[in-house]
Chains A and B, each alone.
Chain A
Amino acid sequence: MSKGAGNTRTGAAGPAASTTAGAVLEISGLTVGVRGEDGERPVVSDLSLTLARGETLCIAGESGSGKSMTALAIMQLLPQPAARISSGKIRLRDMHRGDIDLAVLDERRMRRIRGDRIAMIFQEPMTSLNPVLSIGRQLVESIEAHTDLSRAEARRRAIEALKAVRISEAESRLKQFPHELSGGMRQRVMIAMALALKPDVLIADEPTTALDVTVQGEVLELLRDLQREHGTSIILITHDMGVVAEMADRVVIMRHGRMVEEGTATDIFARPQADYTRELLAAVPRIGTGVGRQKSAEAEMRGSVAVVNDLHVRFDLRGGFFGRVNRRVHAVEGVSFSIAPHETLALVGESGCGKSTTAKALAGLVPYRGDIVIGGCNLAGLGRVERKAVRRDVQMIFQDPYASLDPRMRVGDLVAEPLLIHGIASKEERSQRVAALFERVGLSADQMELYPHEFSGGQRQRICIARALALRPKLIIADESVSALDVSVQARVLDLLKELQREFGIAYLFISHDMAVVENISDRVAVMYLGQIVEMGTRDQVFSNPRHPYTKRLIEAVPVPDPAKRRPRFARLDQEIPSPTRKIGEELPKLALRDVGNGHLVAVS
Chain B
Amino acid sequence: MTSPIAPDLPATGRMPVKPRAGVWRRLIKRPLALIGLVIVAVVVAGAILAPWLTGYDPNEQMFDGLTLEGAPLPPNASFWLGTDLLGRDLLTRILFGARTSLIIGIVANGVALVIGTLVGVTAGYFRGWIGSALMRFTDLMMAFPALLLAICLAAVLQPSLWIVAMVIALVNWVQTARVIYTETSSLAEREFIDAERTIGASAPRILFRHILPHLLPTIIVWGTLGISTTVLLEATLSYLGIGVQPPTASWGNIIFENQTYFQAAPWLVFFPGAAILALALAFNLIGDALRDILDPTQRGRE
CA distance A391 to B10 in the complex (A): 33
Closest residue to A462 on the B side, CB-wise? B8
Knowing A417-B201, A418-B200, A454-B12, the reply to whether A404 touches B5 (Cβ < 8 A) is no
Knowing A405-B195, A408-B295, A449-B16, the reply to whether A421 touches B200 (Cβ < 8 A) is yes
- Residues of chain B from 202 to 261 with CB closer than 8 A to chain A in the complex: 202, 205, 209-210, 213-214
Contacts between the two chains (Cβ within 8 Å), count? 111
Q: Which residues of B contact A365 (CB under 8 A)?
A: 194, 197-198
Distance (whole angstroms) from the CB of A385 to the closest CB of chain B = 11
Are A388's CB and B200's CB within 8 A?
A: yes
Residue among A408, A410, A449 with the highest chain B CB neighbour number at 10 A: A408
Knowing A447-B16, A451-B296, A489-B8, the reply to whether A406 touches B196 (Cβ < 8 A) is yes
Closest residue to A449 on the B side, CB-wise? B16
Knowing A396-B198, A406-B192, the reply to whether A456 touches B8 (Cβ < 8 A) is yes
CA distance A365 to B199 in the complex (A): 11
- Residues of chain A from 378 to 422 with CB closer than 8 A to chain B in the complex: 388, 391-392, 394-396, 398, 400, 403-410, 417-418, 421-422
Knowing A392-B200, A396-B198, the reply to whether A408 touches B214 (Cβ < 8 A) is yes
Chain A residues bordering chain B, tally (CB within 8 A): 54
Knowing A37-B300, A449-B16, the reply to whether A276 touches B8 (Cβ < 8 A) is no
Q: Which of A279, A398, A407 is close to B5, meaning CB atoms less than 8 Å apart?
A: A279
B: contact size bracket: 35 or more
CA distance A84 to B214 in the complex (A): 33
Q: At the interface, is chain B mostly helix, strand, loop or mixed?
A: loop
Knowing A364-B197, A365-B197, the reply to whether A403 touches B190 (Cβ < 8 A) is yes
Q: Which residues of B contact A170 (CB under 8 A)?
A: none
Given A398-B195, A454-B14, 17 other A-B contacts at CB below 8 A? A365-B198, A395-B199, A396-B195, A400-B191, A410-B19, A421-B199, A421-B200, A421-B205, A447-B10, A451-B296, A451-B299, A453-B297, A454-B12, A456-B8, A456-B11, A488-B6, A489-B8
Q: List 27 A-B contacts (CB under 8 A).
A: A37-B301, A279-B3, A279-B4, A279-B5, A364-B197, A364-B198, A365-B198, A391-B200, A392-B200, A395-B198, A395-B199, A396-B198, A400-B191, A404-B191, A405-B192, A406-B196, A407-B296, A408-B295, A410-B296, A417-B199, A421-B199, A449-B16, A451-B299, A453-B297, A456-B10, A459-B8, A488-B5
Q: Which 7 A-B pairs have the closest CB atoms?
A: A458-B8, A403-B191, A418-B199, A488-B5, A404-B195, A396-B198, A456-B11
Q: List residues of chain A with CB under 8 Å of any chain B CB.
A: 37, 62, 64, 255-256, 275-276, 279-280, 283, 360, 363-365, 388, 391-392, 394-396, 398, 400, 403-410, 417-418, 421-422, 446-447, 449-451, 453-459, 462, 464, 467, 470-471, 488-489, 492
